[in-house]
């Protein structure tokens, strides 16, 4: 079966350009592929056009309007999801237009299309008090509870994405002053994040108790079946402790949908409240542009800034007696770890 020019260039885009030239992660490639899978489904169902016959001339303003309407009514896609699909298609057509003149009109058509407006919604994040509560919940008398404490502490302090935490190996932790963690972010980009001394002590304990010292290529966190931690595991852990926290503190944790990303949001908000400049927060989070970071600037300043002036150290001073409202981050079982 003879392929159209569109399909040949699309194959090169997915097989060569995205993974080899741009070094996109498998997750990014899959996201782009989903956009075209939906486009081909729409064209087949609504236009009677099979994917192997699609060509650049088929991209018209009317077709794009019908596609977005189909995504809304039949696929029930949100405005954000529609915008993401359209961006993936635009990205390919921009690539193709630099190689084939017939793709230029298709690119201009899609690039000029009106993007769905994504409403600004409040993102779920934890206050400093709520973070303290969550980090007191793991049962440190149990092995899984100790692992959960280390994992949640690092998830907050590093502002790592769930997948970045899953991908951490022992060699990604560089102990020192300060201790740094190398995170492997989107698009195969890496960044080194300094972490608080308290969290570094937790990590030292974690490595020692799980016989991970010296095992450089081993995953830093494992499931109860001793397999590499997955994002689903981290999501379940988050839900588990948030539900416990809500039951114990019904007036707190008011957002209906917390997730592992809420720890990342929380760290960013707390850094803004502490007066950290957005350019540094952008680098800390691994955002490609400052625009992605600006959502945190909308959060007002609060009195908690003073408490976070030392990069969010949650431990009380050693000469202070902790009260029930101010429990140190480090539990007794590792207080002697060096």
Q: Superfamily assignment of 128-334 in CATH?
A: Intergrase catalytic core (1.10.443.10)
What is the reported pLDDT for 221? 86
Nearest to 93 by CA among 54, 126, 121, 128: 54
* Average pLDDT of span 85-113: 90
Give the whole-angstrom CA distance, residue 24 versus residue 32: 10
Write out the E strands in the chain.
Answer: 173-174, 180-184, 190-194
pLDDT at 9: 93
Half-sphere exposure of 136 (CA within 13 A, CB side): 18
Going by pLDDT thresholds of 50, 70 and 90, the confidence category of residue 191 is confident
Residue 198 host element (H or E): helix 197-209
Question: What tokens were used for 277?
Answer: 């400049």
pLDDT at 143 over 70: yes
What is the pLDDT averaged over residues 271-299? 74
Beta bridge partners of 288: none
pLDDT in tens, 234-263: 999 999 999 999 999 988 988 888 888 889
pLDDT at 332 exceeding the cut of 60: no
Predicted pLDDT of residue 299: 65
Fold of 5-111: DNA polymerase; domain 1 (1.10.150)
What average pLDDT does range 75-100 have in this prediction? 90
Average pLDDT for the chain = 81
Q: What's the mean pLDDT in 53-79? A: 91
Share of the chain above pLDDT 70, in %: 83
Judged against a pLDDT cut of 80, whether residue 331 lies above it is answered with no
**Residue range 156-162: mean pLDDT, rounded:** 88
pLDDT of 36 > 90? The answer is yes
Per-residue model confidence (pLDDT) at position 122 = 66
pLDDT given for residue 281 in this prediction: 79
Sequence ranges of the domains in the chain: 5-111, 128-334
Q: Which whole number is the average pLDDT over 82-98?
A: 92
The C-alpha atoms of residue 249 and residue 263 are separated, in whole angstroms, by: 18
Q: Which helix (H) or strand (E) holds 173?
A: strand 173-174
What pTM, to 2 d.p., does this model score?
A: 0.64
Rounded Cα gap, residues 1 and 162, in angstroms: 43
What is the per-residue pLDDT for 118? 62
Kindly tell me the number of DSSP H helices and DSSP E strands found in the chain. Answer: 12, 3
pLDDT for the residue numbered 56: 93
The yes-or-no verdict on residue 125 having pLDDT over 80 is yes
């Amino acid at each position: 079966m003879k392929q159209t020019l569109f399909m040949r260039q699309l194959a090169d885009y997915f097989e060569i350009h995205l993974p080899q030239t741009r070094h996109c992660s498998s997750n990014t490639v899959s996201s782009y592929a989903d956009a075209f899978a939906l486009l081909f489904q729409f064209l087949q169902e609504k236009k009677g056009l099979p994917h192997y016959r699609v060509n650049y001339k088929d991209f018209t303003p009317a077709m794009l309007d019908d596609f977005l309407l189909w995504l809304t009514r039949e696929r029930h896609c949100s405005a954000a999801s529609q915008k993401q699909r359209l961006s993936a298609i635009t990205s390919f057509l921009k690539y193709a237009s630099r190689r084939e003149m017939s793709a230029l009109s298709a690119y201009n058509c899609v690039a000029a299309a009106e993007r769905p407006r994504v409403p600004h919604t409040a993102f779920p994040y934890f206050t400093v008090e709520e973070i303290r509560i969550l980090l007191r919940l793991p049962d440190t008398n149990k092995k899984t509870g100790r692992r959960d404490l280390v994992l949640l502490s690092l998830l907050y302090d590093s502002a790592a994405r769930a997948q970045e935490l899953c991908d951490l190996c022992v060699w990604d932790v560089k102990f020192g002053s300060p201790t740094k963690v190398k995170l492997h972010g989107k698009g195969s980009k890496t960044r080194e994040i300094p972490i608080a001394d308290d969290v570094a002590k937790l990590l030292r304990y974690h490595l020692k108790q799980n016989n991970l010292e010296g095992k450089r290529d081993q995953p830093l966190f494992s499931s109860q079946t001793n397999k590499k931690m997955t994002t689903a595991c981290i999501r379940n852990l988050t839900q588990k402790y948030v539900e416990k926290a809500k039951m114990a503190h019904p007036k707190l944790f008011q957002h209906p949908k917390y997730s592992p990303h809420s720890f990342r949001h929380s760290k960013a908000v707390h850094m803004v409240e502490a007066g950290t400049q957005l350019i540094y927060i952008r680098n800390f989070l691994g955002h490609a542009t400052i625009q992605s970071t600006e959502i945190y600037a909308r959060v007002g300043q609060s009195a908690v800034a003073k408490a976070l002036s030392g990069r969010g150290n949650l431990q009380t001073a050693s000469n202070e007696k902790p009260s029930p409202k101010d429990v140190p981050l480090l539990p007794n079982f590792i207080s002697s770890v060096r």
